[in-house]
A and B are shown apart, each in its own frame.
Chain A
């Protein structure tokens, strides 16, 4: 029973840390499937987290915070889009630049506005997301096995958590069942085919980049309005890169993305759990090892040991009409 309890707690925190990964990886899915590589997920998420924290602190409204997060994230996406789609610049350089600019400017603006060492003020109840309890969560907690699973594991998360998991089938549906999705996937494979079919490659890629901005906005807002109460400098702490790793690990497919994010989230939760608790037989597992595991797994995947990750064919290549 105690072991079962540990598992439930572990899975519950897995879900909690997976949410920003899911949002960010789905965000990456939209741009990368359209042929625009985006290493700037980290920066967009961080910018969104800051905007959410700052606006929610000033307006005392969680919704204004969320809106600000999405708008800032879209704005950053458009910068990336302008550099890599319109100006045909190097997508990696543009993404890295965004990461650096955001990492620096959030601290400077935070200090200038709030004078709390780059933090935003701690948010009160109305200015952040509250947990949602599913119906009957309290009354059936005592039922063995099913009770804790429903009441502790499924119930009691933030609204954004449920949205994140709902976005997985929604993204799948958009990509595979709508005209927009068909064209988006086509433009990431062969923009020439899209262009000759009479569709604007540029406008299509911009729309994909905007989708990415919206989802990164959710990811950032989750960090500063739900997971914690306010923005802390550098609070994404590499989650954007983990999401990118998850995207590759998932071979650019929505369902796999959810599973990959849950796996990476589980490793994260496990790392926290194992801190100071030596495992039987193995002994103390260094936290750093656990934290490096997502990257190690991705490298193993890329080396071809676990199937093959084939990126969108036109990914990273600006579209130029051939002469």
Chain B
């Protein structure tokens, strides 16, 4: 007889005009790992926030262990035995592990007694679930994988029987993700129920017992994982058949377009983020830079595109130097044929409060096409934008609409259209598909390959290893600011994963 740990009946939630959850029904069996998959904006996180008491559903019922419960705030969720590991960790970074775990569950007004008790309890949890962590370590000094472990311990400390994990692997190396999955298996074997929210199909297949698919605020299907396939789930997520594998021919590399020599970049705190990096980028090839977020990829992109000053080294664009250690002027670089799609489109790539057509010419507004003497030629700008909208299938097709009102995928297409359409020699792209839905990913990937085939040199940085492997002709792996290895795209994930974790790289660098 299967026990149901959590049942949702007819959950409905709107934020103004946005209908985030439509009549959601869901049953999660006790002692299983239940995946919830869907594209960005499908309503997964909203649903889980309702379950954790962060939001109130407009209508519907939540049953825990068969009994209806009102979850008005996180306190009620904790009392009902629900724990949550958030996508962005809810940890106080300058507190110790122990303080973070105690917060909100301190037992008494004076901390001393509670601290001793928490220490004992933490030891017990560590033994029981093999989740070791130094209770006196300060959070900001711990690697991300351990910070996540603290989040899990926090939930267990509050005696959670049902654990919700929201996109837990986004910040982890493949090895850390594997370890997390082993921990989840362990929790399952101890009778805990795990709900795993993700948009990564591979994770669903690897670890879940059952999977529910959400699309545009609706729960469209629930399957037993063993009886479904990646193709079926992808189709359910998007609502149509999608190509998961990008079709691409042999690369025909030409001349060196971008030569990076011994580039070193420090961040605002004086920490070396890019350490003596050298590589070449040729016309007609895509070079992918793989690595866990925060290993210097961002700083590398910023230095090459002229928005962050490097400490030393040189970069040649079409054989002529870029003043990377001095005042490189991004607009001059653009004129010299270097286009940049920044990683963070909200803060660097777009002005969200501008109209679409205004963003479509951002940085190219000196172009004679858009000018009438000293004034902007609004008609020309709009006409140009309309054409771009048609080519890139940007929706809704309205150049006067505020950019903030476009979905993530369409915003990204606006940036890509702007940077690609002028046929630069070198295209630098950071996180091309972050926060972009599957349908748009397919489109963006095809475009990038088209650009390569037209002879453009493409430098691609992404934390999505699948994306790097699908698009790149060569893969450079960065760890702690260094390029620790170069591989072909047919290198196995395990091999790349070890490089990304800095394990293999050290040996290689020593040789």
Contact = CB atoms under 8 A, between A and B. Distances in A.
Interface of A: 177-183, 185-186, 189-190, 192-199, 313, 321, 323
B27 interface: no
A177 B114 CA distance: 11
A199 B73 CA distance: 9
Interface in B77-94: 77-78, 84, 86, 88, 90-94
B103 A186 contact: yes
A286 to B, nearest CB: 37
Given A186-B95, A193-B90, A193-B91, A198 B104 contact: yes
A185 B94 CA distance: 10
B90 A182 contact: no
Contact of B103 (A177, A193, A313, A323): A193
A183 B73 CA distance: 17
B422 to A, nearest CB: 36
A189 B106 CA distance: 18
Chain B contact residues, majority secondary structure: loop
B43 to A, nearest CB: 12
Given A193-B90, A194-B104, A198-B104, A177 B110 contact: yes
Nearest to B106: A179
Interface residues of B, number: 33
A190 B111 contact: no
Question: Most chain-A CB neighbours within 10 Å: which of B55, B74, B104, B111?
Answer: B104
Contact of B90 (A177, A185, A192): A192
A136 to B, nearest CB: 36
A195 B55 CA distance: 12
Interface string B99-123: 1101111101111101000000000
A179 B90 contact: no
Given A186-B103, A192-B88, A193-B92, 14 more contacts: A178-B109, A178-B111, A179-B109, A179-B114, A183-B103, A186-B95, A190-B92, A193-B90, A196-B52, A196-B74, A196-B84, A198-B75, A321-B55, A323-B15
Contacts of B112: 177
Chain A contact residues, majority secondary structure: helix
Contacts of B354: none
A127 B117 CA distance: 50
B392 interface: no
B110 A196 contact: no
B90 A189 contact: no
B103 A194 contact: yes
The 5 closest A-B pairs by CB, nearest first: A197-B104, A198-B75, A193-B90, A179-B106, A198-B74
A176 to B, nearest CB: 8
B54 interface: yes
Nearest to B55: A321
A193 B100 CA distance: 9
Question: Most chain-B CB neighbours within 10 Å: which of A178, A183, A196, A198?
Answer: A196
B119 to A, nearest CB: 15
Contacts of A197: 74, 90, 103-105, 154
11 contacts: A177-B110, A179-B114, A182-B99, A182-B103, A182-B106, A185-B95, A186-B103, A190-B92, A193-B91, A195-B54, A197-B103
Interface string B6-36: 0000000001000000000000000000000
Interface of B: 15, 46, 52, 54-55, 73-75, 77-78, 84, 86, 88, 90-95, 99-100, 102-106, 108-112, 114, 154
A59 to B, nearest CB: 35
B74 A182 contact: no
B74 A180 contact: no
B104 A183 contact: yes
Contacts of A189: 92-95
A164 to B, nearest CB: 24
B78 A313 contact: no
B94 A182 contact: no
A190 B91 contact: yes
Contacts of B154: 197
Nearest to B83: A196
Contacts of B90: 190, 192-193, 195-197
Contact of B108 (A179, A196, A323): A179
A194 B77 CA distance: 14
A182 B84 contact: no
A195 B15 contact: no
A186 B105 CA distance: 13
Contact of B93 (A177, A178, A190, A321): A190
Contacts of A323: 15, 46
Contact of B110 (A179, A185, A321): A179
B86 A196 contact: yes
A181 B94 CA distance: 14
A182 B110 contact: no
A179 B115 CA distance: 11
B225 to A, nearest CB: 29
A199 B54 CA distance: 12
A178 B104 contact: no
Contacts of B95: 185-186, 189
Contacts of A178: 109-111
Question: Most chain-A CB neighbours within 10 Å: which of B52, B55, B110?
Answer: B110
A313 B112 CA distance: 26
Contact of B109 (A180, A186, A190): A180
A181 B15 CA distance: 35
Given A194-B103, A198-B104, A323-B15, A182 B93 contact: no
A253 to B, nearest CB: 12
Nearest to B95: A186
A182 B15 contact: no
Contacts of A192: 86, 88, 90
A185 B100 CA distance: 11
Contacts of A180: 109
Nearest to A186: B92
Contacts of B110: 177-179
Contacts of A183: 103-104
A208 to B, nearest CB: 15
A319 B228 CA distance: 42
A321 B84 CA distance: 16
B54 A321 contact: yes
A194 B100 CA distance: 10
A293 B189 CA distance: 65
Nearest to A196: B90
B406 to A, nearest CB: 17
Nearest to B108: A179
B267 to A, nearest CB: 15
A57 B60 CA distance: 62
